[in-house]
């Protein structure tokens, strides 16, 4: 009997290896693969642009400068809705955020868009602690809540869009079902954390406030998709509003999921592949993707740094007041 037990105990766990091996390979090669996609898309797009009828492309964008204000408006709406969700998440944990300084703190987080693995999210909790709004643990809990609900909102949107292609009448119920499952699971997990430092108030997740935050974030993702549609709606090909609402948020989420700084490379590669799949000519891809990312991503980084400088100035002023 002891021999049998020993043999079972020492037997290699092949199923576990089969499960963990693909995950380790994925983690190891995700970033190089994203970089390779970026290089390939950039090289092919640049080659086709330089060797193709690029004068038509330039003249097209020169004749459609009017779309830039519309694109900027949707980008601002996207950021404004995200900031509302951020302030709401902090307020739910009794942290004052609905004021001018709270808005500046949110924008300061945009300075960390280029940090890998979502580390830029730590800028805002640190700023709130420096302003004396709350302890670091409470701020990190608020950021965690926001991150989780943001993921729920975009997954619900994508699920609703997929179901819409099958049966439009089931799109909203499908998205609502996914949200309900997510927040119900959140309460069940919170019950297990009830006696730890990470506890939440009873019914924190399963509440109208949670649904409100999810809906605000989902509206932000819709604005993000509309911004992509503004860029591509006049391009040749079969790209539709549905494609923009699906591929815009989808590429951003998948790009960020690679852990690359700002999803740079992966997001552009996925967007380029999506447009190419929808038969948008290759010579248009580089300009279309660059225009979209410039307004919805790059332009917010200097704004974030400006907000950081404002916070630093106000922080120094607060220290001088305390010294007096």
- Helix, strand, coil percentages in the chain from 3-state DSSP, rounded to 5: 80, 0, 20
Q: What is the pTM of this model?
A: 0.78
Half-sphere exposure (Cβ direction) of 233: Cα atoms closer than 13 Å: 15
Backbone torsions φ then ψ of 260, nearest 5 degrees: -70, 150
Q: Please check the confidence at residue 175 and state whether its pLDDT lies above 70.
A: yes
Residue 25 and residue 23: Cα distance in Å, rounded?
5
Q: How confident is the model at residue 196 (pLDDT cuts 50, 70, 90)?
A: confident
Q: What is the pLDDT confidence band of residue 320, given thresholds at 50, 70 and 90?
A: very low
Q: What's residue 19's pLDDT?
A: 41
User: Which of 244, 273, 274, 268 has the alpha carbon at shortest distance from 256?
Assistant: 268
Between CA 108 and CA 123 the distance in angstroms is 7
Of 180 and 20, the structure prediction assigns the larger pLDDT to 180
Distance, CA of 258 to CA of 279 (rounded, Å): 26
SS3 182: helix
For the chain, the average pLDDT equals 79
Phi, psi of 243 (to 5 degrees): -60, -40
Q: Which structure tokens are listed for 175? A: 């998205």
- Looking at residue 237, the DSSP 8-state letter turns out to be S
Burial class of residue 26 in the structure, from the number of CB atoms within 10 Å of its CB (0-12 exposed, 13-18 middle, 19+ buried): exposed
Residue corresponding to tokens 């009828």: 53
216 phi, psi to nearest 5 deg: -65, -45
pLDDT band (50, 70, 90) for residue 235: confident
pLDDT band at 10 (very low <50, low <70, confident <90, very high): very low
Query: What does the pLDDT look like over 245-302, one tens digit per residue?
Result: 999 999 888 887 777 667 777 888 888 888 888 888 877 777 788 788 888 888 888 8
pLDDT at 217: 96
- How many C-beta atoms surround the C-beta of residue 214 within 10 A? 24
Sign of torsion, CA 172 178 181 187? negative
Q: How much of the chain exceeds pLDDT 70, in percent?
A: 76
d(CA 318, CA 43): 51
Residue burial 189-199, b: 16+ Cβ < 10 Å; e: rest: ebeeeeeeeee
């Amino acid at each position: 009997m002891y021999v049998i037990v020993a043999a079972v105990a020492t037997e290699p766990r092949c199923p576990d290896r089969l499960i963990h091996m693909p995950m380790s390979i994925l983690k190891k090669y995700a970033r190089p693969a994203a970089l390779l996609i970026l290089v390939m898309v950039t090289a092919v797009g640049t080659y086709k642009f330089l060797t193709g009828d690029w004068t038509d492309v330039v003249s097209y964008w020169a004749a459609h400068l009017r779309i830039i204000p519309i694109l900027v408006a949707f980008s601002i709406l996207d950021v404004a809705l995200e900031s509302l969700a951020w302030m709401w998440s902090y307020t739910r944990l009794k942290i004052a955020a609905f004021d001018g300084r709270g808005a500046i703190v949110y924008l300061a987080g945009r300075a960390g868009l280029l940090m890998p693995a979502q580390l830029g999210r730590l800028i805002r909790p640190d700023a709130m602690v420096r302003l004396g709004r709350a302890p670091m643990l409470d701020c990190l809990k608020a950021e965690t809540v926001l991150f989780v609900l943001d993921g729920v909102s975009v997954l619900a949107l994508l699920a609703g869009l997929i179901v819409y292609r099958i049966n439009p009448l089931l799109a909203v119920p499908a998205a609502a079902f996914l949200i309900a499952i997510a927040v119900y699971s959140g309460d069940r997990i919170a019950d297990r954390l009830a006696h730890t430092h990470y506890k939440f108030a009873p019914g924190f997740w399963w509440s109208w406030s949670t649904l409100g935050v999810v809906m605000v974030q989902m509206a932000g993702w819709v604005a993000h998709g509309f911004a992509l549609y503004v860029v591509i709606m006049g391009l040749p090909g079969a790209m539709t509003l549905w494609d923009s609402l699906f591929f815009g948020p989808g590429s951003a989420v998948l790009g960020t999921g690679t852990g690359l700084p700002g999803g740079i490379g992966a997001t552009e590669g996925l967007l380029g592949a999506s447009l190419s799949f929808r038969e948008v000519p290759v010579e248009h891809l580089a300009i279309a993707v660059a225009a979209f990312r410039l307004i919805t991503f790059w332009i917010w980084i200097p704004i974030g740094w400006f907000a950081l400088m404002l916070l630093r100035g106000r922080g120094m002023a607060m220290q001088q007041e305390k010294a007096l």
